[in-house]
Chains A and B, each alone.
Chain A
Amino acid sequence: QVQLQESGPGLVKPSETLSLTCTVSGGSVTSGSYYWSWIRQPPGKGLEWIGYIYNTGSTNYNPSLKSRVTISLDTSKNHFSLQLNSVTAADTAVYYCARNRGGPGDFDSWGQGTLVTVSS
């Protein structure tokens, strides 16, 4: 069974870049028709989809974040990564990585989530 694990700094300063990595085990990021995704959840609020990357390297992002987001794939390390530029306090959230079973599919596997706080 595939497992996902987020890693990265828990504290980022305003205007800097948030960088997270999701390591996939029990499966390959290049196999199947999966969309490897990032989703976030501000404290006490709902889920917000950030974007995904397909095994070909093609990406798609939430229009509201598109100008600041980059998602990349490292097949040699079997992980994918998130970069969010120019962060503000509004970007403070629990960040989840998840596997989507292909549009219009569901998220069948999730990481445990990691809290990222934006503060000086």
Chain B
Amino acid sequence: SYELTQPLSVSVALGQTARITCGGNNIGSKNVHWYQQKPGQAPVLVIYRDSNRPSGIPERFSGSNSGNTATLTISRAQAGDESDYYCQVWDSSTVVFGGGTKLTVL
């Protein structure tokens, strides 16, 4: 089965740029979606199809996908960005989530 690998945690200084990776075999050939989840809340879609932002998501959120790694980039990190982030793809008609990354804003 297909696996997605995310770092358990990422830290970023306030106002700096955070990058959260999602690794998978030839993930560049798949559409990658990213979700933000705050404690006690349902996940929220922040990036779809590698690099597209839903309405209402700040331009500070961006995504890229190539080779074996997809990346969620959060520019000018704010305290409110502190959350868990999950990547997601489809593989053989099934849905796969990454293990999740906890973003800490220092």
How many chain A residues touch B (CB < 8 A): the figure is 23
In the complex, are the beta carbons of A60 and B94 less than 8 A apart? yes
Give every chain B residue within 8 A of A49 (Cβ-Cβ).
Answer: 94-97
Closest to B42 in A: A110
**Considering the chains assembled together, what is the distance between the CA atoms of A108 and B97 in angstroms?**
15
Give the residues in chain A near B94, CB-CB below 8 Å: 49, 60, 62-63
A residues near B90, Cβ cutoff 8 Å:
103-105
Q: Is the CB of B54 within 8 A of A46?
A: no
The verdict on A100 contacting B42 (CB below 8 Å), with A46-B86, A107-B35 known, is: no
Partner of B43, one of A37, A47, A48, A60: A47
CB distance from A22 to the nearest CB of B (A): 12
Whether B78 is near chain A, meaning CB under 8 Å from some CB there, is no
